[in-house]
Structure 1
Amino acid sequence: VLNNDENYDGIFFNAVKSTGIFSRPSCKSKLPLRDNVSFYENGQAARKAGYRPCKRCRPDLLEYHPVKDIAKQSRKIIKQYFHTRDKLELEIKKLGVSDHRIAEIFKEEYGITLLEYTNSLRLDQVKKKLQNMDDDIVTIAYEVGFESLSAFYRFFRKYTG
């Protein structure tokens, strides 16, 4: 508990009397006073003793990987809103993690940057729209999230040659 050692996750749970919360040994929450801590073999025993699960480490879930969840959620948000910057920023902020940390997590999980992922989505969308040619170039550029035609042309030349 002192070292937040993941090796003990699933072996026991610790509960804090002053907060009424039980958590995994690896939880990064504030270190409680030793007199306020009790240990339980499983989450059910901690619940039975009147404790509720920690919202940070989620000991009530068998498998919880917050970093993977943030990466997955951010990827989903980017895929849905890559073409509207304001909405994208708003939805990303709802994750409750700094932009810098999201960028780090995304790169760790997927091996590409947020910009690379966003650009690949834009390029795929542009190619689809150009094949249909239902819209003119200006409309396509704005629909995929470019704020100017010159930015669109630079992007398109860079990625398609």
Structure 2
Amino acid sequence: MERLEKSIVITLCNLEKIFPPSFFTIMIHLVVHLASEAKVAGPVHYRWMYPIERYLLTLKKYVRTRSHPEGSIAEKYLADKSMTFCSRFLHNVETKSNRTERYFDGYYGASTHTSLTKLEHGQVHRYIIFNLDIIEIFRNLHIEDLKQRYVYDMINHFHIIDISFSYLFNIYV
């Protein structure tokens, strides 16, 4: 943050060399304060007013009687929540809460459920562990550890590496 705070001044000076003076309004000056504001107040989503303003617009749209806005907002809010609650029990009627996607053409074919046997599960697990590039770092560390502990001929046995690496990888993760 300190680096950003120092570099923004230099960046704005370089931009002043490129762009005309009419480009630099008072709003450009506020960029200087962004780093210090982030240090003091934290991430912007904790103090952002946009969702609140959107909800206030929704409440403003609820007003029907301008002489009694609070009452009409309360009535419309209660009616909206009641309709949403009741619509959850209407299974054959398309409502706001159970509407299908706009470009949904439905599913093709029948679905099938397949469960793996213990042997197939082990084969899939071994395939993922020994062929995923992200895990290669852990795999190499484990092989080096085995080389230090045991004779090199034992390391060539795939079964020993498989059993011990599966167990240790669960501990790593």
State whether TM-score is above 0.5: no
**TM-score class, shorter:** under 0.3
Higher normalized helix content (fraction of residues): 2
TM-score between both structures, scaled by the size of structure 1: 0.20
Which has the larger Rg? 2
- Asked which structure has the greater RCO (Cα within 8 Å, sep 6+), the reply is 1
